[in-house]
C-alpha cells in the first residue's frame, strides 16, 4: 500500500475517444503541448513508446529559465485502457521511486481518466503536484477534445 502523504489521485471526464487520449500520452509533440504545467515549456529529447522503453523530458519555466528533467519508463501499455510509468528525476535531490498509473475507460460521452501518481519525492509538496496535474489535464482536454462533436 502506498504512503498517502506522497500520492496524488486525479479523476476527469474528457469529451474524446479513449484512443485519442491514449495517443496523447505516447506522442512526443502532444506530450510537450499538454504535460508541462502553466508557465512551462516541455521538450523531449528521446522517446521509445513500448514496454521497457522510455522518454526523457525537460520542463523549463518560461519566465525564469529554470528547468528540471526526468525519465519516464513504460512499465505497461494497454492501448486505450492503461499506461504505467516509472519516473525518475535527473536531479539526485529529487530521488524517489515514482510511478504513474493512467487508467482510461470508454464512456458514452467520451473517456473517463484516472491518474494515480505515487512515490513523490519529499521535496515536492503533494498539493503542488496536484495543482500541476490539474493544469496539465486542462491542457490535455484542450488538445484531445478539439474537433470532437459536442466538445465544449
* Angle, CA of 116, 86 and 62, to the nearest 5°: 80
Answer left, alpha or beta for residue 107, where phi above 0 means left and psi between -120 and 50 means alpha. beta
pTM: 0.91
Domains of the chain (ranges, CATH numbers): 4-145 (3.30.530.20)
| 68-87 per-position pLDDT tens digit | 999 999 999 999 999 999 99
| 85, β-bridge pairs | 74, 100
Could you state, in chain order, the average pLDDT of each consecutive group of 10 residues for the chain (152 residues)? Answer: 75 97 98 96 97 97 96 98 97 92 97 97 92 96 84 46
Q: Which residues contact 12 (CB under 8 A, 6 or more apart)?
A: 112, 113, 137, 141
Q: Rounded distance, CA 110 to CA 53, Å? A: 28
Amino acid at each position: 500500500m502506498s504512503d498517502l502523504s506522497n500520492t496524488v489521485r486525479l479523476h476527469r471526464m474528457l469529451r474524446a475517444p479513449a484512443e485519442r487520449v491514449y495517443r496523447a500520452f505516447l506522442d512526443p509533440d502532444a506530450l510537450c503541448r499538454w504535460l508541462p504545467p502553466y508557465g512551462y515549456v516541455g521538450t523531449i529529447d528521446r522517446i521509445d513508446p513500448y514496454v521497457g522503453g522510455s522518454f526523457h523530458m525537460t520542463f523549463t519555466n518560461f519566465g525564469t529559465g529554470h528547468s528540471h528533467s526526468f525519465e519516464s519508463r513504460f512499465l505497461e501499455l494497454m492501448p486505450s485502457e492503461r499506461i504505467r510509468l516509472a519516473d525518475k528525476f535527473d536531479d539526485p535531490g529529487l530521488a524517489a521511486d515514482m510511478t504513474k498509473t493512467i487508467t482510461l475507460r470508454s464512456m458514452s460521452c467520451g473517456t473517463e481518466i484516472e491518474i494515480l501518481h505515487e512515490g513523490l519525492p519529499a521535496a515536492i509538496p503533494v498539493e503542488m503536484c496536484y495543482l500541476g496535474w490539474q493544469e496539465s489535464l486542462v491542457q490535455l482536454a484542450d488538445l484531445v477534445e478539439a474537433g470532437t462533436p459536442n466538445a465544449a
